Amino acid sequence: MAIRNIVKEGDPILNKVCRPVEKFDDRLITLLDDMYETMKNSEGVGLAGPQVGILRRLFVIDIGDGVIDFVNPKILKTSGVQEENEGCLSCPGEYGITRRPMYVTVEAYNRFGDRFTLNAEGLMAQAICHENDHLDGILFKEHVIRKTEEL
Binding mask 20-59 for Co ion (x = CB under 5 A): ----------------------------------------
What's the CA gap between 131 and 126, in Å, rounded?
Answer: 9
CA atoms in the 13 A half-sphere facing the CB of 127: 24
Tell me whether residue 24 or residue 122 sits nearer to Co ion (CB atom).
122
Taking CB under 5 A as the binding criterion, the range among 32-40, 54-62, 85-93, 114-122 that sits at the site for Co ion is: 85-93
Q: Least separation, in Å, of the C-beta of 10 and Co ion?
A: 14
User: Should residue 14 be labelled a site residue for Co ion when binding is judged by CB under 5 A?
Assistant: no
What's the CA gap between 144 and 83, in Å, rounded?
Answer: 9
Residue among 115, 44, 32 at smallest CA distance from 73: 115
Helices (H) and strands (E) in the chain, counts: 2, 8
Asked if 131 is an active-site residue, the reply is yes
**Catalytic site positions:** 131
Which residues are at the interface with Co ion (CB under 5 A)?
Answer: 88
